[in-house]
Amino acid sequence: MKVKICGLTNLGDALAAIEAGADLLGFNFYPSSPRYIALEVCMRIVSELRARRMQVVTVGVFVNLPAVEMLKIMDTCRLDLAQLSGDESPEVLAATGPRAFKGLRPANIGELQENLANYKPRSEAPAWLIDAHRAGQYGGTGKIAEWNLARSLARKAPILLAGGLNPTNVAQAVRQVQPWGVDVASGVETSPGIKDDTKMRAFVDAVRMNEA
């Protein structure tokens, strides 16, 4: 099972996340997020990771940007994947290309079915990210996602489960949902954008101990 540690803002935390066992690192380009990272900072971090030959997937997290702008950021920072966490249309998702996957925040089964009808999944994992629903907010809320909805989707496609996960509850989430991977930000922080090494290790260890 994959672990994504998201909202990284500095090289030290990125290296610590990899040391803890993270498979994917997320960098948030949404200016309103407390975990926002400037383009130049992300460039330096990813360049250093590449120079050290770190085996990790890098993910740009975007909210309501045009596809051309997302692709420019991805190319500039040498990112592997694009996570679209806003209100992007299916056309924007398609225009961003095969490296993009959509973050969904369904409040109920009807919304989930509507999302699935509109947004084509990636042909490779992850197909989608499932996050908690909170009106007007685009993730990073600390609210737990609807695990029953996530479980129904995880049976059909490889998903990343996000939303309120932390070292205490991620084992239960893994057992109940059986996702392709789990995504954490605030649950392993000392303050927004600043990670806690001990919490990151505890989170990854809890996932590994409960893999199917």
**Residue 129's CATH number:** 3.20.20.70
Q: What pLDDT is recorded for position 146?
A: 87
Q: What are phi and psi of 67, to 5 degrees?
A: -55, -40
Number of CB atoms found within 10 A of residue 144's CB: 14
Q: How many residues does the chain have?
A: 212
- Catalytic, 131? Answer yes
Q: How far is CA 134 from CA 88, 108, 142, 143, in A?
A: 16, 12, 10, 8
pTM exceeding 0.85 = yes
Q: What pLDDT is recorded for position 114?
A: 92
Q: What pLDDT is recorded for position 141?
A: 54
13, 42, 77, 131: the active-site residue: 131
- Catalytic, 6? Answer yes
What residues make up the domain containing 132? 2-209
- Coil, strand, or helix at residue 109? helix
Count the helices and strands in the chain (H runs, E runs): 8, 10
Q: How far apart are CA 155 and CA 161, in angstroms?
A: 13
6, 13, 42, 77: the active-site residue: 6
Domain count, the chain: 1
Q: How far apart are CA 54 and CA 135, in angstroms?
A: 37
pLDDT digits 0-9 by tens, 128-181? 999 984 555 555 555 687 899 999 999 999 999 999 999 999 999 999 999 999
- Coil, strand, or helix at residue 63? coil
Q: What pLDDT is recorded for position 193?
A: 94
